[in-house]
């Protein structure tokens, strides 16, 4: 599973997606509140591939 799939699964909504010229995907997502965002991003970091 790709990282953006994990982020989309954790965020209630994706507002925008754009690929940079170097291939990095930039996403603008929403969360319920700052606490939800913090928890979701920490969880993504914990399951990150080495």
Domain locations along the chain: 3-46
Whether 36 contacts 43, CB under 8 Å: no
Residue 42: how many CB atoms within 10 A of its CB? 9
The answer, yes or no, to whether residue 20 has pLDDT greater than 60, is yes
pTM, to two decimals: 0.66
Confidence of residue 23 (pLDDT cuts 50, 70, 90): confident
Confidence of residue 47 (pLDDT cuts 50, 70, 90): low
- Res 5: pLDDT: 84
The answer, yes or no, to whether residue 1 has pLDDT greater than 70, is no
Whether 28 contacts 22, CB under 8 Å: no
Q: What distance, in Å, lies between the first and last C-alpha atoms of the chain?
A: 14
Alpha-carbon distances of 31 from 9, 10, 40, 41, 43, rounded to whole Å? 11, 8, 9, 10, 14
């Amino acid at each position: 599973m790709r990282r953006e799939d994990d982020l989309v699964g954790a965020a209630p909504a994706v507002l925008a997606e754009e690929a940079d010229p170097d291939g990095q995907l930039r996403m603008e997502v929403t969360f319920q509140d700052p606490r939800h965002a913090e928890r979701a991003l920490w969880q993504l970091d914990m399951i990150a591939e080495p």
